[in-house]
A and B are shown apart, each in its own frame.
Chain A
Amino acid sequence: MRGPLPFLLPWLIGFIALTLIPLGLSLYWSFTNYDMLQPPQWVGAQNYVGLVHDPLFRTSVINTSFMVVIGVPAGILLGLGCALLLRRPIRGSALYRGAIFVPAVVPSVAVAVIWIWIFNPDYGLLNAALGVVHIKPQGWLANPSLAKPSLLMLLVWEAVGQIMVLMLAGLKEIPGELYEAASLDGAKPFQHFRYITFPLMGPVLFYSLIVWMIFYLQFFTEAFVATSQDLGEPVNSTLFYSIYIYQNAFQFLKMGYASAMAWILFAVTMVITVTLFRLQRRFIFYRGEQRA
Chain B
Amino acid sequence: MSLLQTMAGTTKRRRRLTDGARHLVLICISVIVIIPLVWMVASSLKSNSAIFVYPPQLVPTHPLFDNYQKAFDYIPFWLYFRNSVIVSAATICGILFSCVPAAYAFSILRWRGRDLVFFVVLASIMLPFQVLMVPLYVIYRDLHFLGTLLPLIVPPFFGQYIASAFSASLAIFLLRQFFRSLPGELIDAARIDGAGDWAILFRVVLPIARGGLITVTLFSFLSSWTDFLAPLIFLNKSSLFTLSLGLQQYQSLHFTAFNYLMAAAFVFALPVLLAFVFAQRFFVEGIALTGLRG
Contacts and interface: CB of A to CB of B under 8 A. Distances in A.
Contact of B33 (A18, A103, A265): A103
A291 to B, nearest CB: 9
A239 interface: no
Given A106-B40, A128-B55, A21 B291 contact: no
Interface string A1-30: 111101110110111011101110110010
Contact of B128 (A103, A108, A269): A269
Interface in A15-55: 15, 17-19, 21-23, 25-26, 29, 36
Contacts of B197: 2, 7
Contacts of B168: 11
Nearest to A5: B105
- Band of interface residues on B: 35 or more
B123 A270 contact: yes
B165 A211 contact: yes
A240 B150 CA distance: 29
A85 B130 contact: no
Count chain B CB atoms within 10 A of each CB in A10, A82, A166, A170 and give the residue with the most.
A10
B148 interface: no
Contact of B132 (A7, A23, A85): A23
Contacts of A15: 120, 124, 158-160
B250 to A, nearest CB: 8
Contacts of B30: 95-96, 99-100
Count chain A CB atoms within 10 A of each CB in B114, B136, B283, B292 and give the residue with the most.
B292
Given A22-B132, A218-B129, A266-B128, A8 B105 contact: yes
11 contacts: A4-B105, A6-B198, A18-B160, A23-B132, A102-B34, A113-B262, A220-B164, A221-B164, A258-B134, A265-B130, A273-B126
Interface of A: 1-4, 6-8, 10-11, 13-15, 17-19, 21-23, 25-26, 29, 36, 82, 85-86, 90, 92, 94-111, 113-115, 117-118, 120, 122-125, 128, 157, 160-162, 165-166, 168-170, 172-173, 203-204, 207-208, 211, 214-215, 217-221, 224-225, 228, 242, 245-246, 249-250, 255, 258-259, 261-263, 265-266, 269-270, 273, 284, 286-287, 289
Interface of B: 19, 22-23, 25-26, 29-30, 33-37, 39-40, 43, 51-56, 97-99, 101-102, 104-105, 109, 111, 114, 117, 120, 123-139, 155, 157-160, 164-165, 168, 172, 196-198, 201, 222, 226, 228-229, 233, 243-244, 247-248, 251, 256, 258, 261-262, 265-266, 268-269, 272-273, 276-277, 280, 283-285, 287-288, 291-294
